[in-house]
Structure 1
Amino acid sequence: MTASTEHRPAATKRTVLQVGPLKPSLSATLVDDYAAWVLPDAGEERQSFLSQHGAEITAVVTSGRTGVDAELFAALPNLGAVVNFGVGYDTTDIDAAAARGVAVSNTPDVLTDCVADTAVGLMIDTLRQFSAADRYLRAGRWPVDGNYPLTRQVSNTRVGIVGLGRIGTAIALRLSAFGCSISYHNRREVPDSPYTYAASPVDLARGVDVLIVAAAGGDGTRNLVDRAVLDALGSDGYLINIARGSVVDQDALVSALLDGRLAGAGLDVFTDEPQVPEQLFALDNVVLLPHVASGTVQTRAAMEALTLRNLDEFLATGALITPVPLPAAAK
């Protein structure tokens, strides 16, 4: 049995809090097996709940789309762990967690393959414009306007990856099979990597045809891909983002696409989800996905199981199975 299906005795104390929307089966398990509270969204109801129950909460279960901010940390004085459903945790105030000694977990590895698959799929669709060609056919334009215009070859292109972690490495492995040459930028060079290291995102972008963003979100990478990087990528270059919308300067990206200073983009993430810049809707050289990179039945089930394993471990021992590193203040 997985951690999401095994029987648990009914909770006798309500110490778990769900913050923000989660996968329906995970939400149901939290209520049924842990007697979890669900934090009201906002307003007087939320403040009343926190005033009455905030001190009872020892564990929060949330996702990278919601997280726990400094204000909520302050309202939960006995919180011991933030358990994240998903690999991203940039919406949680890590400095506040560290200052309060609150551990934070995420669900790494289990979504690596599906996110890497999405990156490759987005790259193929963006360069070959398959989605746009599908719309062209469905609109009845093929018999009237003739063949769809020629597009860009995918195989044997030069690909740069911003963030050569688990997901970035999985992307590189897949694209190597396409005959692509791979280079990357990290804060630090990866020892013994078979791929070419670039000292900055600008240097990386200047030497590739396609720039894939796979870096973690958070303040340290906010707008890491800015106008200078996009200009270095140039009018023949393509941007693919399956990381976090915050890593790319979205205004600069929209401007580059509208002005023709970038050949195209494939985007699974945006700065203010679920809001997406409407200027992009009419562009056939842009592929837009509603943050579905890990959205398969298998991956979401594995993420749910690992989330519950982290929660079970914390409630039983005070530890987490997949903790994320916190700043030194947590020590």
Structure 2
Amino acid sequence: MSADGEFEVPVRHPRHRDAAPRAPIPLWRLKVSLPPLLVLIPMQPEQLSSLQTHFDVAYHPSYHPAPEGWGPDGERARFVLTHGARGLSAAELSHLPNVALVSALGAGYENLDVAAMHSRNIVAVNGAGANAPTVADQGFALLLAAVRRIPAYDAACRKGVWRDALPMQPGVSGKKLGIVGLGAVGRQFAKRGEGFDMQIGYRNRSRRDDAPAHYQYFDSVLALAEWADYLVVTAPGGAQSHHLVNGEVLRALGKHGFLVNLGRGSVVDTAALADALRDGVIAGAGLDVYEGEPSPPAALIDLENVVLSPHVAGRSPEADAATVALFIENTRRFQAGEPVLTPL
């Protein structure tokens, strides 16, 4: 590979048997260009290295909009990689005259203007399912940590407090697990719940024909919360799911109930949740996502019955490799004229 990131291709030249030998063409004169990719989100060095094998990468990581565009890097970009929180607006698309495919790296795409992309025949895809096992692992850890009060017990132990001075906490095994959004993450979470002999109920936009027969379907989040001991949110963000979990749902979950949110912060009404936790309307919560990211949720950070993590559920070496591999496969399929795997 040359210093400017292009592959050099050796060429053998046929010649007439009577012709004089010709000097070989220098390899640097024959190059295969990599498709230009504009990356708008922070990435790990290993991820970038993998992308640079397949693309001519222009790296512009930022969580803020770019109303002026990205100069020549934006003008030449054929592919764009972003995620749901960063998004890509219609105004920004106007600075991308040659873009053909836009991808959200994870499952969320709440801030991507998909309609504007479709109006220009730009293919939009996401990374649905690639990091689902890692997200479910983190979510179940949050459920266990919240229900069993592991952070509080850890702090007490370090202070020399013995168990007799601490409240007894419920278990997880055999309880009713309600899942809001039975997508890739929801199904992975349900599998982990079944490992704890939990009963599984779910609310989805429609009943899933591929769900196990013993999974109970509910026609509203409120009905699911009334049934469940523990409620887990894996639904994506967006206008349709905004504050889907509100004060009424939390009251239905009840004083022994626990909430886990792995979807998007906007799905849960933070103010209502803070009131519910403070007033004993529910017993506790575990959150990997919350409104106002990346700033910590000010209404929650002083409450002992909530366990927080800074939107890291989808991050692991395994998940990073899987999400990048899915993006690369989607672009390969697009360039080959094949259907992409995760269209929006």
The question of 1:110 aligning with 2:108 is answered no
Q: Distance in 2 between matches of 1:319 and 1:82?
A: 16
Q: Match for 2:180 among 155, 162, 171? A: 162
Q: Does the residue aligned with 2:169 lie in a helix, a strand or coil? A: coil
Question: AA paired with 2:203?
Answer: H
Q: Does the residue aligned with 1:266 lie in a helix, a strand or coil? A: strand
Question: AA paired with 1:223?
Answer: H
Question: AA paired with 1:113?
Answer: P
**1:279-318 matches, cutoff 5 A:** 279-314=299-334, 316-317=335-336
The answer for unaligned runs of 5 or more in structure 1 is: 1-6, 326-331
Q: Distance in 2 between matches of 1:151 and 1:42?
A: 40
Q: Distance in 2 between matches of 1:229 and 1:44?
A: 34
Q: Does the residue aligned with 1:49 lie in a helix, a strand or coil? A: coil
Match of 2:47 in 1: 26
- Confirm or deny: 8 A CA contact 2:152 2:304 kept in the other structure: yes
Match of 1:276 in 2: 296
- Confirm or deny: 8 A CA contact 2:63 2:86 kept in the other structure: no
Match of 1:324 in 2: 343
The question of 1:142 aligning with 2:140 is answered no
Match of 1:329 in 2: none
Q: Does the residue aligned with 1:66 lie in a helix, a strand or coil? A: coil
- Confirm or deny: 8 A CA contact 1:132 1:284 kept in the other structure: yes
Q: Deviations over 1:89-115 (max 9, x none)?
A: 222122222222211222233322222
The question of 1:257 aligning with 2:277 is answered yes
Per the TM alignment, residue 178 of structure 1 is displaced from its structure 2 partner at its CA by 1.4
Question: AA paired with 2:96?
Answer: L
- Confirm or deny: 8 A CA contact 2:225 2:249 kept in the other structure: yes
Per the TM alignment, residue 148 of structure 1 is displaced from its structure 2 partner at its CA by 2.5
Q: Match for 1:171 among 186, 189, 192? A: 189
Per the TM alignment, residue 123 of structure 1 is displaced from its structure 2 partner at its CA by 1.0
Question: AA paired with 2:177?
Answer: V
Q: Deviations over 1:255-314 (max 9, x none)?
A: 221222221000011122211223322322111011121222222222222222323443
- Confirm or deny: 8 A CA contact 1:22 1:63 kept in the other structure: no
- Confirm or deny: 8 A CA contact 2:66 2:92 kept in the other structure: no
Question: AA paired with 1:324?
Answer: P
Q: Deviations over 1:195-240 (max 9, x none)?
A: 1111111111111111100112222212111222112112221110
How many residue pairs were aligned? 315
Q: Distance in 2 between matches of 1:175 and 1:94?
A: 34
Identity of aligned residues (%): 34
Per the TM alignment, residue 60 of structure 1 is displaced from its structure 2 partner at its CA by 0.4
Higher relative contact order by CA 8 Å / sep ≥ 6: 1 or 2?
1
The question of 1:89 aligning with 2:109 is answered yes
Q: Does the residue aligned with 2:141 lie in a helix, a strand or coil? A: helix
Q: Distance in 1 between matches of 2:65 and 2:130?
A: 38
Q: Distance in 1 between matches of 2:165 and 2:284?
A: 20
Question: AA paired with 1:121?
Answer: A
Per the TM alignment, residue 53 of structure 1 is displaced from its structure 2 partner at its CA by 4.8
The question of 1:183 aligning with 2:220 is answered no
**1:184-203 matches, cutoff 5 A:** 184-191=202-209, 193-203=213-223
Q: Does the residue aligned with 1:83 lie in a helix, a strand or coil? A: strand
Per the TM alignment, residue 46 of structure 1 is displaced from its structure 2 partner at its CA by 6.6
Q: Does the residue aligned with 2:70 lie in a helix, a strand or coil? A: helix
| Higher mean C-alpha displacement, 298-307 vs 286-295 | 298-307
* CA RMSD after TM alignment: 2.7
Q: Match for 1:58 among 58, 64, 78? A: 78
The question of 1:131 aligning with 2:129 is answered no
Aligned in 2, Cα 1:271/1:43: closer, same or farther, shift over 3 Å? closer
Taking structure 2 as the reference length, the TM-score comes to: 0.82
Aligned in 2, Cα 1:8/1:85: closer, same or farther, shift over 3 Å? farther
The question of 1:121 aligning with 2:141 is answered yes
Aligned in 2, Cα 1:130/1:303: closer, same or farther, shift over 3 Å? same
| Higher mean C-alpha displacement, 145-154 vs 16-25 | 145-154
| Higher mean C-alpha displacement, 303-312 vs 203-212 | 303-312
Q: Distance in 1 between matches of 2:197 and 2:225?
A: 19
Question: AA paired with 2:204?
Answer: N
Q: Does the residue aligned with 1:47 lie in a helix, a strand or coil? A: coil
Q: Distance in 2 between matches of 1:124 and 1:42?
A: 32
Q: Distance in 1 between matches of 2:243 and 2:305?
A: 22
- Confirm or deny: 8 A CA contact 2:203 2:224 kept in the other structure: yes
Aligned in 2, Cα 1:8/1:124: closer, same or farther, shift over 3 Å? farther
| Higher mean C-alpha displacement, 173-182 vs 11-20 | 11-20
Q: Distance in 2 between matches of 1:45 and 1:186?
A: 35
Q: Distance in 1 between matches of 2:226 and 2:85?
A: 32
**1:37-76 matches, cutoff 5 A:** 37-39=58-60, 41=62, 47=68, 49-50=70-71, 52-76=72-96
